[in-house]
Amino acid sequence: MEKELKILKYSDLSKLIERFHAKGFPVLAPVRKGKVVEIELVESLGDIALDVLLSTQSAKKTAFPKVEKVLKYTLAKSGVTQHPVDPDTARETILFGVRPCDASGFKSLDAIFGEAPGDQFYLKKKEKTAIISFSCPEADEYCFCTSVGGGPGNTAGSDLQFTGIGKDEIFVEILTEKGKQIAAIFADLLSDSPAGIDKTKFLADVKVVFDSDKVVENTSASFNNAALWLEQSLRCIGCGACAFVCPTCACFDFQDEQNTKQGVRLRLWDSCGFSLFTLHTSGHNPREVQSQRWRQRIMHKFSYMPQQLHVVGCEGCGRCSRACPVDMNIKEHLTAIAQVG
């Protein structure tokens, strides 16, 4: 659909949350919890940390939670009986106040989980999530969205996008049919936008630091460049912090939890940074050392995903770099990869 442009008063923002609740829509938004910012259910606008750069974790958990029950079963002498879990139990939910990189991160997840036959546990939840993103008035040195095709005002993946223009007003972009339905809930609070509003004036200046195509090209050609991967990852300690805060990392593991009578099968986040990730039953591990696991992380995002799913698996949010205990900075490492050869 053609996008619609409106103006909303800041002072009316709290009414939006009230109306969403009145309509029965839970609202998920960034909430400050000490030093971390979590995306959680909120009661009112006052709960929401709209001034933070980014939540600590990405918004992916709203459709791809860290632990998810996918099957139940009972055990008897006669055998195992499976009891399917309905993937379609989520309510229509509004994801509010997240950043453009969170919204666009779902495009990678959509590509991964949307591959036939389609992962219903993800797809149903995603389908029922409406995303109201807030463009970024500020960025920090870890941000590099503009180098991977995004930007502080990128609307990809958002149903509505809000941009603060001056102290009192918000520039509202209605981007999708779903966004139109959500905007109808507060249509009386919207006025038509005067022509010629340039929202880019109100956005952070995020410099392009590398050519994404060059990174894709060089990554694909660097599989056997062991020295490159080793040099970049010597300090990597092999935890999963980067993968778990990433808006596009989608790897998972299955674990059964059971007693003598019944059990559940759980889907859990997993990370290619863990040595266990590729450990074979035989004891052989094809990714024996951390540099090979680091290579996998970069190859997956910048070689395999572009080839197979036609998306780059990185939004340039920089969460992995901020969360890394040993300062693995992906922006810096991708810049170095762009300069290889």
Token pair 């094809």 is found at 286
Buried/exposed code over 306-327 (b: 16+ C-beta within 10 A; e: otherwise): beebebbbbbbbbbbbbbbeee
Nearer to another protein, 228 or 243 (CB): 243
CB–CB of 4/174 below 8 Å?
yes
**Closest distance between another protein and the C-beta of residue 223, in Å?**
18
Q: What are phi and psi of 307, to 5 degrees?
A: -70, -45
Q: How far apart are CA 217 and CA 334, in angstroms?
A: 12
Q: What stretches of 175-259 adopt beta strand conformation (E)?
A: 190-192, 252-258
**Closest distance between another protein and the C-beta of residue 297, in Å?**
14
**Closest distance between another protein and the C-beta of residue 81, in Å?**
21
At 50 the three-state DSSP class reads coil
Q: Which residue in the set 181, 255, 307, 339 belongs to the binding site for another protein (CB under 8 A)?
A: 255
**Closest distance between another protein and the C-beta of residue 29, in Å?**
17
Nearer to another protein, 190 or 243 (CB): 243
User: Is position 269 an interface residue for another protein (rule: CB under 8 A)?
Assistant: yes
User: Is position 291 an interface residue for another protein (rule: CB under 8 A)?
Assistant: yes
CB–CB of 311/108 below 8 Å?
yes
For another protein, the binding residues in 125-164 under the rule CB under 8 A are: 140-142
Binding segment for another protein (CB under 8 A), chosen from 71-79, 91-99, 104-112, 261-269, is 261-269
User: Is position 286 an interface residue for another protein (rule: CB under 8 A)?
Assistant: no
**Closest distance between another protein and the C-beta of residue 299, in Å?**
18
Q: Residue 213: CB partners within 8 Å, gap ≥ 6?
A: none
Q: In 3D, which of 254, 256, 253 has the Cα closest to residue 277? A: 253
Q: Which residue in the set 14, 23, 181, 325 belongs to the binding site for another protein (CB under 8 A)?
A: 325
User: Is position 241 an interface residue for another protein (rule: CB under 8 A)?
Assistant: yes
Q: How many residues make contact with another protein (CB under 8 A)? A: 43
Q: Which residue in the set 274, 278, 304, 309 belongs to the binding site for another protein (CB under 8 A)?
A: 274
CB–CB of 148/315 below 8 Å?
yes
Instruction: Report residue 89 as tokens.
Output: 């139990």
User: Is position 38 an interface residue for another protein (rule: CB under 8 A)?
Assistant: yes
User: Is position 244 an interface residue for another protein (rule: CB under 8 A)?
Assistant: yes
User: Is position 227 an interface residue for another protein (rule: CB under 8 A)?
Assistant: no
Q: In 3D, which of 122, 117, 128 has the Cα closest to residue 87? A: 122
Q: How far apart are CA 279 and CA 58, in angstroms?
A: 28
Contact residues for another protein (CB under 8 A)? 33-36, 38, 56-57, 66-67, 140-142, 230, 234-235, 237-241, 243-245, 253, 255, 257, 266, 268-269, 271, 274-276, 289-291, 321, 323, 325-327, 329, 332
